[in-house]
Amino acid sequence: MNSTSPTPKTIGFIGLGNMGSAMAGHLCNAGYTVLAWARNASTLEALADIPLVAQPSIAALCAGTRLLALNVTNTADVQSLLFRDGGIAQHAQPGSIIVDFSTIDAAAVADIARHLKSRNVDYIDCPVSGGAAGARAATLSMMAGGDLAAFNQIEPMLKHLGKTIRHVGPSGAGQAIKAANQMALCIQLVGIAEAMNYALEQGAELSVVLELLQAGLPASRVLDWAGPHMVKGFTDPVSIEAHLHAKDVRMVADAAKKQGLHLPLLFKTAKLLDELVANGPKSQDTSRVFEVVRKHMRI
């Protein structure tokens, strides 16, 4: 595709978890032909209600379109899909665009983009915010880094998936902003957990604490989400799974250390979320870090 090419109406999709499957479904509903490949056939079998066109291999997926989307777990997954023997880089058609919705290490993105550009393939890092609920509602926030002309070609497709869509700069910029988003969210969450635990320790009623925090300057969307979970004792359905936040925050913390950056609030938050995930069920709300903070209150 070149800078004047229309967005293809066929897209290849890899990464059909809770978010990816919802996104692929929206594209099907918008009239796109969605070619899909998964490592396990059971993944596609479980999505029989979505009119995906299953592909037997990455090679077949790439042969069918010059627009590919990824939504997988981590940096290593992305690198493997792209650069392993038989991977996307080997089979992508010249002029292809890869839009990567995964949340991965910002520092790795420049190398990925450079290697793909040498093969005449554009790579757009486009992490998303909003979780599975946002994916189902098509209200995701998207922050895209990479070539602007390539972004302009895929923007009409992105509008079927999200509400806030921005091109934010060169390769890696999208991941950098997503990292900042996760830092601010999770550090704020730990601060809320500590404040509410402190008030509880002094004998205050948590429901009253929450009401007055929401009425004052501490009011925030994070407080509105996490506070009710803390008050009710985590009996409500899980809204954001802790292992996903823990993965993102740990990734950013490790990358910061490699860069020689000292980010004490981030490092502490990463430790607390690691502890939460290590000692609880896989599916638990991140707000449950309240209990980990409480355990550490008395040294």
CATH number of the 10-170 domain: 3.40.50.720
DSSP state at residue 286: G
List pLDDT tens digits, range 202-257.
999 999 999 999 999 999 999 999 999 999 999 888 888 899 999 999 999 999 99
What topology is assigned to 177-295 in CATH?
A: N-(1-d-carboxylethyl)-l-norvaline Dehydrogenase; domain 2 (1.10.1040)
Model confidence, pTM: 0.88
Q: Is residue 4 over pLDDT 80?
A: no
pLDDT at residue number 241: 87
The DSSP-derived string for 43-89 is: HHHTTTTS--EE-SSHHHHHHT-SEEEE--SSHHHHHHHHHSTTSHH
**Pairing mode of beta strands 162-169, 140-145:** parallel
On whether the CB atoms of residues 171 and 109 are closer than 8 A, the answer is yes
What digits encode the pLDDT tens for the residues 279-290?
988 789 999 999
User: Which of these ranges, 5-9, 25-29, 45-49, 225-229, has the smallest mean pLDDT?
Assistant: 5-9
Measured between alpha carbons, how far is 176 from 226 in angstroms, rounded to an integer?
A: 24
| pLDDT score for 3 | 45
* Mean pLDDT calculated for residue range 138-143: 97
What are the structural domain ranges in the chain? 10-170, 177-295
Residues 6+ apart with CB under 8 A from 290: 193, 196, 197, 226, 229, 230
Do 10-170 and 177-295 share a fold? no
Contact between 162 and 127 (Cβ < 8 Å): no
User: Tell me, what amino acid is at 230?
Assistant: M
Average of per-residue pLDDT across 109-119: 96
pLDDT at 2: 52
